[in-house]
Structure 1
């Protein structure tokens, strides 16, 4: 409605002295009359004066972004309109059991600057919707970026007095500035509305920085048609700025990591952010749009990922000028993070820790009830449709199954710009339903995070790489032909001395390393040595009790295991293997084992199997450790694969040592876990943390403890590595001690030795550079176990100090790191195998081959335990170790110790 006219006003009743009379409100004569006619002609002109005020960004949370839409009965509604909200006042309130602020706003259209509504909204909440007239409103985010605030001021035509405090809403005016000097000499009255526009936009001249006579680059620039832009941050004004690499140095602008994050990144983390950026932005290769960050635990994979996400959300190397205004929306808008359910709160906490409320994070936690699936679907659709409210959504791997229908939509890949998978080794199985759902979505960019990408074999490694960058390694059949078969044959002991096979395997290994190193980055936690307190690793070999040996022998006899046959052991029941593992922990677990109850309980006398309180070598060593550590101020983390073992340890803590503890296993909900971790890390009254390795061994930061006891081993080395990395992490202030308990001569040692094979393969393919010994790296191609070793799995060695040490060397165990062993067998053994020889020569040659195999096995084992000092406690009890606790405890139940 024009401000110079007024509509007809109907008569209104007015009471005077108790009598009702009709009164008329006269229209205001505020129009201008020329020649007895009112002429209203408004001409708008643009003031190009460069008079941009100085903005003081220290006053934040004065302007916010608001989403609004017309009321509708549609089932799937989206927020199609944006506005600027001027915050007149705010007050603390509680909504959905969380603290928020209630904002009193005036809302203006973000394009035209027209006034829309005055209402109240709740900030940072995706469920509260305000109403005004025929519109619905929802809070989006505070404006904190300087350019965003300037743009808002330009749209709203804010009058900012340079001498007064900027963004002082109460003293600012947003109405049009009408000129008081009216020229009445013309037939038209001109009212001028000034709109300030940055003059530099029109005066900006862009010079292509190409060398003289470089016609090719000139032609590339002409075809690109990219308008000049400017970076979000000036790299020349930031000390030690982290600037990303450009794909096109002539047209791209600088992408500079926010100094808020770049100043806290360590050198290896800066390198990691650059590596991820180069992969997801196709700078490495057009075929590569994803990367695998395979750093070991504790190197900050989460922080590096958050840094990259924040950078891509706010910046793009191809910024353009749109409608005379800089487009700084960033390269991506939506990020989906998939992780184990136990890590959802960890990710959310990390975003808040490093970025505060700068990023909208949506989490889909585990729910119960009949409407849980529908609520998850609504929340996920809300994340996808609310453009400016949420930028990041964090869900669990299991949640993908319940959201399958949304992932299968054709438009889903257009709504999610970046996929991040934490603990990505969960995607190693090609038959996994979760993996198939993700593979069917054509994500533009992917980041996989795992410290253990190779857990068992190369086929799992191919599955992860092919999901990350489809087709990068060819088909599975071609990968088997080109890599798996030759590498496996070269590692086979039967082909070890055939020169052609070994050379081909080495050649294909190097080719695979070169191909995958383009999108895989692997660093070990040796990098942390300069940043964290020292860490001491101990492998403690515990002497089995007589009852443990007796029960194990009886079980093997009653189970009819043919230990003389190399083929029967691998195919035998996994239940028997699990039962033998439990006996290594304690014979108390015998009666509750399902395999024992169904197969052995009837044929074995139970009277011999009654165990005492500490009828286990490992329990006795644990008891001695607890007794000594309880006299110190150190806190303890105890980890086991079995909750039944944790029950026994829990009783030991509670009734014998009277130590306070918290426990985290599969029965603890995701909401309770952060509180348990916080209590252990901060409360001086909590001494121990009992942890189930499989349900809580990933991502937990237990820096409140500095002594960790791994009570039992797992066949998968990744689980043990994850578990042992809980205390030696960023924030740790004390020297750390890791104790790994192993029952000497029993299946515990076989598991430890089998782990070495898998870790060895991982180091080789991931090009682990921790071992610079060329000879040692060559030995990494050798397999440690032959088929003869498989039948040894069910063999009990009663009189060994440590079967593992027997494979390493024959030193005296005097605490000295043994020197390298020389290989005295001729290098031309493989040549003699291919020639005709006599019977006597064959017997001599076979003996030499067996000797060489033994030496090779010792060499590989030695490389895996490189740097450990050897202590034989059977022969000498007074050995002095670095750890004072091990020096003071009763060591009658310890046969051997490896110290590093």
Structure 2
């Protein structure tokens, strides 16, 4: 029996149940058919704040019988009774209620189960995931914007929930997918490891995900959106911040963590953690949190008026370490002292510059409640009109606040807690966004930015992420980059520049990203992120100068990509594991993005030595694509040679003494081709002699510029270098 899709569907189910109850089956056995016998049913599990949105959408877009399985026990029992009797099409509930009442819900007559924000089931051992795997209904759908957040294993957990058993076991996924992709992402990966990672990524993108995963991005509406500039600003720590940071790193409990696996100094030859220097339980998270606070504002480690008695004692002990042999600063005074926060000067500069144009509106996000209060005090002191939204803001007060932010010209700033308001809000009236402190999970920061950069935005959006340069926040951002590259590789098989040598989950290859020693480190005189990016781009440039030829083929782009399809069609059994490379497409040049006036000059004037655009760092690498092509050709050549040698041994034992003629024949005037090392050296000299590079600091700038150019532009530069080499040889 079909629905009509109009007013005739109102009370359709209730009338149907009433008719059944007039029949003999009900009068005799008091039983009703399953709830989905006549029309399909569905359970939707969503975050608490989103359940009302689902109710509103069902009211707007159709005639459905909807019950909300929330509220008191009596209210929930009534909804469940209505469903069992067949009176409801849809039941809405929250994660917490569904987990708690899973025994009442798991075997009901659901035609389909939906989870909104399905990344909540990314941990296979969490109570929510274990509970939701009990549903007997196997028609399951997960809705999420972040299937891959922290690792490729999360994708398996979510997809295994929607399609139980279809993707193998977790160990199989780890061995076939996770391990080759994470190893291949490392800057220290061999050519074989890089090639295997690319092959696996393409297989995942073209063979696995299309069967279980439907992805939509802003690309489908990008022609309707303005541009977004995502600038990462490395704010110098103040001298006092640096001194306090050092004192915390030198604390004995921190040193015990850093040196835990070294041999004890007592001579026992046991590890320090097992001998005279036991590590503090929970110490890693405790001291990480302290360093994050110091990176943002020293007042965060001072006793505050609203602290609990336990917090006051802890903060007083910490303040005595941070400020030895001197009076401990007062919290209220410290909040406004610029020497206690390197980010204050940057934020002040941005706000003053933006306030010159009264049409600008700003969103400021922070994940710290105490920092939110400090920002509120700071904005009040500077007489900025603003609103504030945090976890204490009532649901009913949110929409009026959003409306006022959009309509009131005197409201310049919206202060928002990242966790309370980083999702679900439409704030397209803002055109400037500040992420005051980064999150370990890049999805939280990206979601926060998208409060302004979303459908309905009419102005270019400028995002500024503020990082404490040299501190743990640089490591947090580096991990964000690593995770965003994982997303690009996992979703799109994107060939990314390998900035970091660390391998996630491999304790023997922690590199500069993973492990306790990287967490408890201060890069006082260097910008670790800047150095990693420059080193990687210079290595790519060196490879290009050593291996790329400058002969340009004047053919259309589609023809230039024929090599990948041709390689697929001609490959033999030995290359079967590399098939699918034909789906690798070369990305177009990114669109030009407008600059935010003279902000960069202003930031430089107040001591900011480095900033970059996040999207530029995450662009697919054409040089890495070419390197992959070369590696595949070399692998194919070696296999062909091995097969030829093998077939020769199996053939006739008689060998001709006459050597095979060389073709094309080598003439006396022919010069042997240059080795990669010689080509690299000659082209590097040409770069200097042609003035493309005038000093050592120019090299990383040129390398990054070269990497972002099109294949044709790169070829033109190489041709100029080769012409110069020929003219001067």
Q: Is the 8 A contact 1:373 1:402 kept in 2?
A: no
Distance in 2 of aligned mates of 1:825 and 1:640: 44
Distance in 1 of aligned mates of 2:422 and 2:592: 28
1:69-108 superposed matches below 5 A: 79-81=17-19
Alignment correspondent of 1:705? 430
Q: Is the 8 A contact 1:724 1:738 kept in 2?
A: yes
Residue 373 (structure 1) aligned to one of 53, 63, 73: 73
Give secondary structure in 2 for the equivalent of 1:342.
coil
Distance in 2 of aligned mates of 1:478 and 1:351: 40
Q: Is the 8 A contact 2:437 2:466 kept in 1?
A: yes
Q: How far 1:448 sits from its partner (Å)?
A: 1.4
Q: In structure 2, do the counterparts of structure 1 residues 532 and 867 end up closer, same or farther at CA, with 3 Å as the change threshold?
A: closer
Q: Does 1:613 align with 2:337?
A: yes
Q: Is the 8 A contact 1:701 1:726 kept in 2?
A: yes
Alignment correspondent of 1:645? 371
Q: In structure 2, do the counterparts of structure 1 residues 676 and 508 end up closer, same or farther at CA, with 3 Å as the change threshold?
A: same
1:419-818 superposed matches below 5 A: 419-491=113-185, 496-497=189-190, 499=192, 503-513=195-205, 514-559=207-252, 561-562=254-255, 573-592=284-303, 597=315, 600-601=318-319, 603-605=321-323, 607=326, 610=329, 611=334, 612-614=336-338, 615-631=340-356, 632-661=358-387, 663-767=388-492, 776-777=495-496, 779=498, 783=502, 786-789=509-512, 790=515, 791-800=517-526, 802-809=527-534
- TM-score of the superposed pair, with normalisation by structure 1: 0.51
Alignment correspondent of 2:97? 399
Q: How far 1:552 sits from its partner (Å)?
A: 0.6
Q: Does 1:345 align with 2:52?
A: yes
Give secondary structure in 1 for the equivalent of 2:372.
helix
**Larger-gyration structure (1/2):** 1
Distance in 1 of aligned mates of 2:40 and 2:9: 21
Distance in 2 of aligned mates of 1:446 and 1:66: 26
Distance in 1 of aligned mates of 2:458 and 2:439: 29
Q: Is the 8 A contact 1:343 1:698 kept in 2?
A: no
Distance in 1 of aligned mates of 2:590 and 2:530: 14
Q: How far 1:493 sits from its partner (Å)?
A: 6.7
Q: How far 1:668 sits from its partner (Å)?
A: 2.7
Q: How far 1:330 sits from its partner (Å)?
A: 12
Distance in 2 of aligned mates of 1:803 and 1:867: 26
Q: How far 1:434 sits from its partner (Å)?
A: 1.9
Alignment correspondent of 1:882? 596
Q: In structure 2, do the counterparts of structure 1 residues 453 and 782 end up closer, same or farther at CA, with 3 Å as the change threshold?
A: farther
C-alpha deviations, 1:102-145, integer Å up to 9, x for none? Answer: xxxxxxx9x9xxxxxxxxxxxxxxxxxxxxxxxxxxxxxxxxxx
Q: In structure 2, do the counterparts of structure 1 residues 781 and 394 end up closer, same or farther at CA, with 3 Å as the change threshold?
A: farther
Distance in 2 of aligned mates of 1:686 and 1:381: 49
Q: Is the 8 A contact 2:236 2:608 kept in 1?
A: yes
Of 478-487 and 329-338, deviating more is 329-338
C-alpha deviations, 1:4-31, integer Å up to 9, x for none? Answer: xxxxxxxxxxxxxxxxxxxxxxxxxxxx
Q: How far 1:67 sits from its partner (Å)?
A: 6.8
Distance in 2 of aligned mates of 1:796 and 1:532: 40
Q: How far 1:881 sits from its partner (Å)?
A: 4.3
Distance in 2 of aligned mates of 1:608 and 1:581: 23
Give secondary structure in 2 for the equivalent of 1:657.
coil
Q: In structure 2, do the counterparts of structure 1 residues 473 and 65 end up closer, same or farther at CA, with 3 Å as the change threshold?
A: closer
Q: How far 1:890 sits from its partner (Å)?
A: 8.9
Q: Is the 8 A contact 1:764 1:780 kept in 2?
A: no
1:134-173 superposed matches below 5 A: none
1:272-351 superposed matches below 5 A: 333-351=40-58
Q: How far 1:549 sits from its partner (Å)?
A: 0.8
Give secondary structure in 2 for the equivalent of 1:434.
helix
Give secondary structure in 1 for the equivalent of 2:541.
coil
Q: Is the 8 A contact 1:700 1:726 kept in 2?
A: yes
C-alpha deviations, 1:822-878, integer Å up to 9, x for none? Answer: 327999xxxxxxxxxxxxxxxxxxxxxxxxxxxxxxxxxxx99x97999xxxxxxxx
Q: In structure 2, do the counterparts of structure 1 residues 62 and 725 end up closer, same or farther at CA, with 3 Å as the change threshold?
A: closer
1:849-868 superposed matches below 5 A: none
Q: Is the 8 A contact 2:485 2:496 kept in 1?
A: no
C-alpha deviations, 1:20-59, integer Å up to 9, x for none? Answer: xxxxxxxxxxxxxxxxxxxxxxxxxxxxxxxxxxxxx9xx
Q: How far 1:442 sits from its partner (Å)?
A: 2.4
Give secondary structure in 1 for the equivalent of 2:243.
helix
Q: In structure 2, do the counterparts of structure 1 residues 476 and 898 end up closer, same or farther at CA, with 3 Å as the change threshold?
A: closer
User: Of Structure 1 and Structure 2, which has the larger fraction of its residues in helix?
Assistant: 2
Of 725-734 and 555-564, deviating more is 555-564
Distance in 2 of aligned mates of 1:429 and 1:558: 34
Distance in 2 of aligned mates of 1:767 and 1:796: 35
Of 610-619 and 734-743, deviating more is 610-619
Q: Is the 8 A contact 2:499 2:532 kept in 1?
A: no
| Structure 2 unmatched ranges of 5 or more | 24-35, 263-278, 548-585, 616-729
Q: Is the 8 A contact 2:99 2:132 kept in 1?
A: no
Distance in 2 of aligned mates of 1:620 and 1:897: 15
Give secondary structure in 1 for the equivalent of 2:135.
coil
C-alpha deviations, 1:287-315, integer Å up to 9, x for none? Answer: xxxxxxxxxxxxxxxxxxxxxxxxxxxxx
Q: In structure 2, do the counterparts of structure 1 residues 704 and 385 end up closer, same or farther at CA, with 3 Å as the change threshold?
A: farther
C-alpha deviations, 1:259-296, integer Å up to 9, x for none? Answer: xxxxxxxxxxxxxxxxxxxxxxxxxxxxxxxxxxxxxx
User: Of Structure 1 and Structure 2, which has the larger fraction of its residues in strand?
Assistant: 1
Q: In structure 2, do the counterparts of structure 1 residues 826 and 732 end up closer, same or farther at CA, with 3 Å as the change threshold?
A: closer
Q: How far 1:556 sits from its partner (Å)?
A: 0.8
Distance in 2 of aligned mates of 1:702 and 1:823: 45
Q: How far 1:605 sits from its partner (Å)?
A: 3.6
Q: How far 1:498 sits from its partner (Å)?
A: 7.5
Q: How far 1:337 sits from its partner (Å)?
A: 2.2
Alignment correspondent of 1:183? none
Q: Is the 8 A contact 1:869 1:898 kept in 2?
A: no
Distance in 2 of aligned mates of 1:587 and 1:781: 30
Distance in 2 of aligned mates of 1:635 and 1:384: 51
The size of the alignment, in residue pairs, is 518
Q: Is the 8 A contact 1:462 1:476 kept in 2?
A: yes
- TM-score of the superposed pair, with normalisation by structure 2: 0.62
Distance in 1 of aligned mates of 2:317 and 2:182: 37
Distance in 1 of aligned mates of 2:137 and 2:9: 35
Q: Is the 8 A contact 1:757 1:784 kept in 2?
A: no
Q: Is the 8 A contact 2:187 2:500 kept in 1?
A: no
Q: In structure 2, do the counterparts of structure 1 residues 799 and 645 end up closer, same or farther at CA, with 3 Å as the change threshold?
A: same
Distance in 1 of aligned mates of 2:327 and 2:68: 54
Q: In structure 2, do the counterparts of structure 1 residues 519 and 567 end up closer, same or farther at CA, with 3 Å as the change threshold?
A: farther
| Structure 1 unmatched ranges of 5 or more | 1-56, 70-77, 84-108, 112-328, 812-816, 828-862, 871-879
Give secondary structure in 2 for the equivalent of 1:882.
coil
Q: How far 1:705 sits from its partner (Å)?
A: 1.6
Give secondary structure in 1 for the equivalent of 2:211.
coil
Q: Is the 8 A contact 1:640 1:692 kept in 2?
A: yes
Q: Is the 8 A contact 2:359 2:409 kept in 1?
A: no
Q: How far 1:723 sits from its partner (Å)?
A: 1.4
